Amino acid sequence: MGIMSIANGRAIPSARWWRIIPAAILVYLFSFMDRTNISFAMAGGMNEALAMTPALSGLIAGIFFVGYVIPQMPAGHLAEHGNAKHFIGITIVFWGGLSILCGLVQNSEQLLVLRFLTGVAEGGVWPAMLVIISHWFPNEERGRANAFFIMNIAIASIITGPLSGWIISHYGWRWVFIGEGALTLVLILVWYPLIANRPETAKWLSATERDYLITKLAAEQAQLKSADTVSYRAVLRDLNLWKLVFLYFFYQVGIYGFALWLPTLLKELTKTGMTNVGLLSMCPYIVMIFGLYGFARLSDRSGNRRRYTAIPILGFAACFLASTLLKADIWVSFGFLVACGVFMQSASGVFWTIPPMLFPSEVAGGVRGIVNALGNLGGFIGPFAVGWLRMSFNNYDAGIYFLVAMLVAGYLITLTLPAVTAGRRKEPA
């Protein structure tokens, strides 16, 4: 997985790559499954069973993200200054239990409340996981570590489709929540044995690897402490922060609008059963893995973060629009939906290299928290807008046009980012 590091002419063991990254992927994989399985329940009979309109379905799918943004910044602080391993372990129990309860609801009001609480329970996992990764991977390794971690989204989506479709076909929509929630609780048996908060406390780590990590990470911290102090008040007045917030917001509107309505779109398009819908839904996420790697590699080679954030967002919008305009030919339309997967998450890995390029190191972590918290509100707007527009205009096309417009807005904002993000040095003042 990782490439062995070299220090003082010696190869450094890479046990951390095989302990920390797989556990991080596995936990967030189930987190992503538990937030998106509602899309299959919606297409698999839940809407009819709970008498939910498309607008209400979109609201319930999106309310997760309102809860999701609440704990992000405090969770990152608690994880950094407390015990990130225990923090994530506790959240696993909460979100797994809440997912099971979603399968027992009797009306839409109960589901609305539980989805909001599930968002709160899961909201702290992402920043806490990034804290753990920062404790285990020095700066020159952190980009690869983050890239492997982000691939969990594609893996989760590949698994969620056929698994959820099969469960619904055989047992009904309620068991999507109950079964996947129960599997989440089993994660505790994997999480605690594999993870340690820091190299200093890991008994499985060799002395060579431990000394290397402690030395490298201590040097990084010393460098950060020597930097000039920058206030968050000044950061909040910086136009570049708000460009990143709105860029990420529009991008997330498109991503989650696509992801949470994809099973319904496939069912409408192909007129097939949920097992086949689940299998077909895998395809965009299989090609997503190649898009993530390919665009990240191009960006690393060129140093141009702006270009390789903008191109995937525009490609996603173009393929999504083409899938709608050409839906008279089912398999051409489906082909463009699959092509959406190439671009869908490819901007993410590149995008998260930009905040430290624009902000001093001592506030870059806080900037990431602000951008992630506010930007993820797009995960509420996207699903809700598609449902509301579908009900208002009596078709899905209006909702898709809205998502495409949001992606184009994100693309245009990307083009306004400073020259340094394109691999060019800042002009002297």
The whole-number mean pLDDT for each consecutive block of 10 residues of the chain, a chain of 429 residues, reads 54 83 87 80 88 85 84 74 86 93 94 93 83 78 73 80 85 91 90 89 88 83 58 83 95 86 79 78 88 84 89 95 86 90 88 80 71 84 82 79 94 94 59
Same domain (yes/no): 217, 241? no
Q: At what angle do helices 15-41 and 108-123 cross, to 10 degrees?
A: 160
Q: Distance between CA atoms of 60 and 38, rounded to whole angstroms?
A: 9
Same domain (yes/no): 314, 359? yes
Same domain (yes/no): 91, 115? yes
Smallest CA-to-CA distance from 364 within 142, 85, 31, 151 is with: 142
Q: Is residue 4 part of a domain?
A: no
Q: Is residue 382 part of a domain?
A: yes
Same domain (yes/no): 127, 163? yes
Same domain (yes/no): 246, 201? no
Same domain (yes/no): 151, 217? yes
Same domain (yes/no): 125, 70? yes
In the three-class reduction of DSSP (H, G, I as helix; E, B as strand; rest coil), residue 10 is classed as strand
Q: Distance between CA atoms of 429 and 151, rounded to whole angstroms?
A: 40
Q: Is residue 9 part of a domain?
A: no
Same domain (yes/no): 165, 241? no
CA quadruple 99, 103, 109, 115: dihedral, nearest 10: 20
pLDDT at 350: 83
pLDDT at 365: 62
- Contact (Cβ atoms closer than 8 angstroms) between residue 136 and residue 20: yes
Same domain (yes/no): 203, 244? no
- Contact (Cβ atoms closer than 8 angstroms) between residue 199 and residue 136: yes
Q: Is the dihedral of CA 372, 377, 378, 379 positive or negative?
A: positive
- Contact (Cβ atoms closer than 8 angstroms) between residue 372 and residue 365: no
Q: Is residue 260 part of a domain?
A: yes
Q: Is residue 426 part of a domain?
A: no
Which of the listed residues 194, 223, 252 is the one where a domain comes to its end? 223
Q: Distance between CA atoms of 38 and 42, rounded to whole angstroms?
A: 6
Residue with tokens 């055989």: 170
Cα–Cα distances in Å, from 401 out to 11, 380, 388?
A: 53, 17, 13
Neighbours of 240 (CB within 10 A): 18
- Contact (Cβ atoms closer than 8 angstroms) between residue 260 and residue 38: yes
In the three-class reduction of DSSP (H, G, I as helix; E, B as strand; rest coil), residue 5 is classed as strand
pLDDT at 143: 62
Domain region containing 308: 233-418
pLDDT at 427: 42
Residues with Cβ within 8 Å of 424's Cβ and at least 6 positions away in sequence, in order, are none
